[in-house]
């Protein structure tokens, strides 16, 4: 894999890269004894200055036309190309992705920014309410409300920028997640403070430092460090929205903090995402590969990946054998090795949880099939590796079915009645994503329309099936608010009504 030079990333505050008195190490999840680099530990004062910078820059940034802000963002993206290979290798080192996955994440970040810039004109739309004829009798207090009846007024509804926005990132797929809100916030006229996960912050920081070179000082700021250190970025009342992606437990903490200042929140809290295969699904090589990628990409850690798979009983055995064949050739190892097809999990906790779920299912008599090869050198590295596994026909109340794992362990559940599957999915605590698979798109669409999840894909799942023009969000405890698309742009805006006499 060649030699590696440690990376050191500072803070980005008001257009300047700052160092720190303390630095924390970032480790390689494929070899946890190896330090990939160091990130700055911000002081609370530095975090406050990041909010100061964002608040000050907002006045001029918000005064620009949306298309001007979009063009500046696009110009900044062009400067990222020369560093793509180095940032991709850094991402592999700190996140455990394969090279292909890392390159895809960088590409997704760029494409989502381009898509958001392309809808900047939507911010200029003004909805007009014209005077309309009076309906029915006048209210008893009509004389006191002269000039306010619907036939005597007209209104114009438009949107305005919010102010400073803080975006808090997860450790995995962080740049792709960031691009569901960062470009929309910037194009909508807001300034941003990004707080990457301490587990894997280096590529995010490096990317945003490059991006900020083309943006006015203070428009984009980055603060790394402990929860206490970055606390001002969510507690300061000048922060108008907090965007968080992570666990439900951490999401509840964000809500409590936001309640003190009545700050808007966008929460993406994951889900136990089902894939439902109807009895007429085409289990050809393309479909089976799409299912496998949807479930096992980045070692099964995608929030929007497949977490459980329902298949009609008449196709159950065929699917199990087809997926087994698809997974058999995985080679698990370091992402920089050219033969690796699956890297490690991001930390020991998630690896142990996923392994525990499959062990519990095995202990009650479920068949658990594990696949792929882990070489001797990889086994000795101490990395957080786990072979992909299928858990066959576990009880519906077993942990592997009801808990959303973050790892390469997939339960396969045969069913007889799709209506019961739909009912069960709609009663889940979470409702982030789902997918329906069938050769009959109309039939699949009818099932999809009944599923109460934020996104339902047909004959696809996960990041490779995403339409980044469309909004994404979750039902129930999967989150609050929308990201991406026009709806995501409007989420980063405030609605303003001006009413005139008719």
**In a structure prediction context, what are the per-residue pLDDT tens digits for the chain, which is 502 residues long?**
444 567 999 999 999 999 999 999 999 999 999 999 999 999 999 999 999 999 999 999 999 999 999 999 999 999 898 899 999 999 999 999 999 999 999 999 999 999 999 999 999 999 999 988 766 665 545 555 554 565 789 999 999 999 999 999 999 999 999 999 999 999 999 999 999 999 999 999 999 999 999 999 999 999 999 888 889 999 999 999 999 999 999 999 999 999 999 999 999 999 999 999 999 999 999 999 999 999 999 999 999 999 999 999 999 999 999 999 999 999 999 999 999 999 999 999 999 999 999 999 999 999 999 999 888 888 888 999 999 999 999 999 999 999 988 999 999 999 999 999 999 999 999 999 999 999 999 999 999 999 999 999 999 999 889 999 999 999 999 999 999 999 999 999 999 999 999 7
Could you give the residue range(s) of every CATH 3.40.309.10 domain in the chain?
274-467
Query: Is-contact 367 412, C-beta < 8 A?
Result: no
Task: Specify burial of residue 319 (Cβ count, 10 A radius: 0-12, 13-18, 19+).
Answer: buried
Q: What is the pLDDT of residue 2?
A: 42
CA nearest to 270, candidates 313, 302, 297, 243: 302
CA nearest to 251, candidates 170, 357, 172: 170
Backbone angles phi, psi at 67, to 5 degrees: -65, -30
Could you give the residue range(s) of every CATH 3.40.605.10 domain in the chain?
7-123+160-269+482-496
Length of the chain (residues)? 502
Please name the helix (run of DSSP H) or strand (run of DSSP E) that holds residue 212, with its range, or none: helix 202-212
Contacts of 59 (CB under 8 A, 6+ apart): none
Q: Where are the alpha helices (DSSP H) in 297-388?
A: 316-327, 348-363, 376-380
First-last CA distance in the chain: 72
Q: Which two three-digit tokens encode residue 142?
A: 């009509």
CA nearest to 353, candidates 393, 312, 399: 399
User: Which residue bears the tokens 């594990």?
Assistant: 370
Query: Is-contact 349 407, C-beta < 8 A?
Result: no
Fold of the domain spanning 7-123+160-269+482-496: Aldehyde Dehydrogenase; Chain A, domain 1 (3.40.605)
Q: Which two three-digit tokens encode residue 431?
A: 């409702």
CA nearest to 264, candidates 234, 306, 299, 228: 234
pTM check: above 0.85: yes
Determine how many CB atoms are found less than 10 A away from the CB of residue 145: 11
Q: What is the pLDDT of residue 136?
A: 62
Fold of the domain spanning 274-467: Aldehyde Dehydrogenase; Chain A, domain 2 (3.40.309)
């Amino acid at each position: 894999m060649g030699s590696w030079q440690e990376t050191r990333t500072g803070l980005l505050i008001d257009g300047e890269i700052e160092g720190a008195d303390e630095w924390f190490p970032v480790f390689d999840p494929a070899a946890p004894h190896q330090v990939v680099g160091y990130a700055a530990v911000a002081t609370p004062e530095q975090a406050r200055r990041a909010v100061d910078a964002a608040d000050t820059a907002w006045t001029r940034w918000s005064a620009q036309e949306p298309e001007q802000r979009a063009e500046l963002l696009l110009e900044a993206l062009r400067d990222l190309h020369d560093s793509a290979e180095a940032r991709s290798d850094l991402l592999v080192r700190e996140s455990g992705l394969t090279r292909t996955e890392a390159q895809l994440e960088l590409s997704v970040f760029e494409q989502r920014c381009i898509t958001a810039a392309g809808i900047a004109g939507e911010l200029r739309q003004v909805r007009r309410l014209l005077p309309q004829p009076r309906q029915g009798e006048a209210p008893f207090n009509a004389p006191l409300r002269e000039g306010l009846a619907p036939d005597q007024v007209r209104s114009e509804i438009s949107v305005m920028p919010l102010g400073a926005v803080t975006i808090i990132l997860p450790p995995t797929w962080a740049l792709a997640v960031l691009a569901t809100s960062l470009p929309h916030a910037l194009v909508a006229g807001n300034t941003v403070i990004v707080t990457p996960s301490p587990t894997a912050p280096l590529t995010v920081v490096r990317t945003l430092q490059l991006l900020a070179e083309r943006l006015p000082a203070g428009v984009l700021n980055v603060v790394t460090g402990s929860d206490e250190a970055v606390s001002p970025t969510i507690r300061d009342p000048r922060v108008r929205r907090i965007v968080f992606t992570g666990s439900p437990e951490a999401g509840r903490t964000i809500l409590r903090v936001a309640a003190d200042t009545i700050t808007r929140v966008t929460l993406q809290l994951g889900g136990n995402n089902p894939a439902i295969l109807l009895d007429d699904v085409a289990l050809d090589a393309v479909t089976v590969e799409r299912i496998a990628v949807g479930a096992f990409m980045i070692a099964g850690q995608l929030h929007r990946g497949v977490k459980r798979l329902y298949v009609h009983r008449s196709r159950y055995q065929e699917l199990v054998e087809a997926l087994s064949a698809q997974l058999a050739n995985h080679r698990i190892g370091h992402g920089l090795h050219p033969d690796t097809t699956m890297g490690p999990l991001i930390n020991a906790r998630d690896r142990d949880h996923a392994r525990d779920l499959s062990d519990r299912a095995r202990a009650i008599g479920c068949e658990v099939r594990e696949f792929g090869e882990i070489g001797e050198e990889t086994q000795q590295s101490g990395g957080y590796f786990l072979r992909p596994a299928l858990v066959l026909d576990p009880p519906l109340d077993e942990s592997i079915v009801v808990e959303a794992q973050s790892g390469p362990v997939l339960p396969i559940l045969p069913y007889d009645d799709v209506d019961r599957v739909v009912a069960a999915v709609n009663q889940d605590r979470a409702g982030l994503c789902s997918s329906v698979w069938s050769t009959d798109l109309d039939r699949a669409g009818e099932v999809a329309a009944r599923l109460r999840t934020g996104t339902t894909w047909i004959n696809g799942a996960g990041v490779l099936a995403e339409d980044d023009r469309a909004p994404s969000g979750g039902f129930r405890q999967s989150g609050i608010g929308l990201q991406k698309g026009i709806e995501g742009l409007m989420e980063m805006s405030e609605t303003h009504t001006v009413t005139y006499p008719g």
